[in-house]
Structure 1
Amino acid sequence: MTLKLRYAAVSDTGLVRPANQDAVHAGPRLLAVADGMGGMAAGDLASRIVIESVAPLDREIPDDGLIDAMREALATANGRIREAVAEDPSRDGMGTTLTAMLFTGTALALGHVGDSRAYLLRDGKLQQMTRDDTFVQMLVDEGVITPEQASHHPRRAVVTQALQGGDATPAYTFMRPTAGDRWLLCSDGLSNVVTAETMRETLSGYPDPGDGARRLVDLALRAGGPDNITVVVADVVEEG
């Protein structure tokens, strides 16, 4: 049985930021969300560089080549950010998160760095499939604070790793998709203000990916929209 993705992407500046520094790609083989940092112009540039670098992955790739293809694309993206900083030293410190999913119909691979996220809704249960590269996640891992405390911690936005042109160690995961799976990729403009339970209820309650994505963005805006919000919702369905 061959599977395919049915997907939708929505991005919004939010109610506080002057510009949208998120960038997104949604296609039949590749879903990707990048959240830029380092000032208005630089953050926008960094996220755009990374999305443009991974976009060529939206093609047929053998299952056993997914991780290598993702790793090579992220290395290329990181190198292009390094070049952009070398061209203009005022860009020093710019960078971006990236959460990306490569899909073949029989396999998928996740590539992740930073605090954007990928979630999987399967059989009514929502599971976060990426680990945040953040200061508060480090505290949670060490048992210093609880996940609930992390969601309200004043330093929850401090990212410990991103694509900034220097050393970075993205995480990669290989999986087999299942018909009926629903994936959510998002920037922290959603996950910082909308609870996992509300996300689960919304993803479960809106059969159409576009309706679900728009509703999630609306919920983030209703919560104050303090950051840029980018949402990709994708269903794994049987071909034909």
Structure 2
Amino acid sequence: MRREARLRYAALTDTGKREQNEDAYFAGRMDGHHLFAVADGLGGHACGEVASRMAIEILAEAADEELPESEPGELLGRAFKRINTAIFTYNRDNGLNAGTTLSAAIVAESGRCWIGTVGDSRTHIVTPTSIWHTRDQTYVQGLVESGAISPAEAMVHPRKNVLTQALGLSARVQVDLDVVELACGVLLISSDGLHDYVPESVIREIVLGNEPDMACRRLIDAASDAASTDNTTVIVARA
């Protein structure tokens, strides 16, 4: 586990029941900020692991080049579009349809978090009373927002993995950008191998009750116990 600038963090990834791990992640410190990101290459799409790795590499490169001169939210918006163009071009040049989700957070010393998301990897802020998380860009999320189904029903819906957006599959992409305060909460970023299977109450208990390295291990175990069939990647960070 790395300990820098009062923010303690850890990351862990697990292949689960898949033949290969198509997730990729970054957790580190850059120019007075921390950068955390999880990308989940699309299963069933050619070279999903290539797309997720490209996303993380380009994001880290962009942050290294532009922090701290750039406003973090604008940086994320530009980086996501750069990633989308790179993967889309890779697909066109190679006759492929590689794609990936990505949720990324830039965290300042003050605890302010700038978050960018495409797809259904999630950034969460976990407190003793609540879990805030980014909006999934999925078909099922649209059903939840319309009132057609509940969040609990969404977890078992047969089309819960149908994305409305992913990086690399079309020439343009809509990036969801959020600004939140970490305050006394804990930051968690996860691929859907965790949050599609493990209830929020269990996630909250694990994240609040353990140091980041143990929390990551226990989250991966919880996904396995919940019969997750997907790759699972988690990053946990707390002051």
The TM-score normalised by the length of structure 2 is 0.89
**Aligned partner (choices 94, 101, 117) of residue 97 of structure 1:** 101
1:49-98, Cα deviation, whole Å (9 max, x unpaired): 10001113158834970111111111111111012112210x12x21111
Contact 2:45 2:99 in 1 (8 A): no
**Aligned partner (choices 41, 45, 49) of residue 44 of structure 1:** 49
Structure 2 residue 156 is the aligned partner of structure 1 residue 155: no
* 1:1-240 equivalences in 2 (<5 Å): 4-14=6-16, 16-28=17-29, 29-39=34-44, 42-56=47-61, 57=63, 61-62=67-68, 65-89=71-95, 91-92=96-97, 94-106=98-110, 107-122=112-127, 124-166=128-170, 167-178=172-183, 180-206=184-210, 208-235=211-238, 237=239
Contact 2:131 2:204 in 1 (8 A): no
Q: Could you tell me how far 1:197 is from its partner in structure 2? A: 0.4
Sort the Cα spacing of 1:200 and 1:58 in 2 relative to 1 into closer, same or farther, 3 A: farther
Q: Could you tell me how far 1:150 is from its partner in structure 2? A: 1.1
Count how many residue pairs are aligned between Structure 1 and Structure 2. Answer: 228
- Rounded to whole Å, the distance in 2 between the matches of 1:115 and 1:128 is 14
Contact 1:119 1:128 in 2 (8 A): yes
1:21-67, Cα deviation, whole Å (9 max, x unpaired): 00000112100000001537510011011000111315883497011
Q: Unaligned stretches of 5+ in structure 1? A: none
Q: Could you tell me how far 1:125 is from its partner in structure 2? A: 2.3
- Rounded to whole Å, the distance in 2 between the matches of 1:6 and 1:85 is 38
Aligned-residue RMSD, C-alpha: 1.8
Q: Secondary structure at the match of 2:120?
A: coil
Sort the Cα spacing of 1:4 and 1:58 in 2 relative to 1 into closer, same or farther, 3 A: farther
The TM-score normalised by the length of structure 1 is 0.89
Equivalent residue letter for 1:95? G
Q: Unaligned stretches of 5+ in structure 2? A: none
Percent of residue pairs bearing the same amino acid type: 39
Contact 1:113 1:171 in 2 (8 A): yes
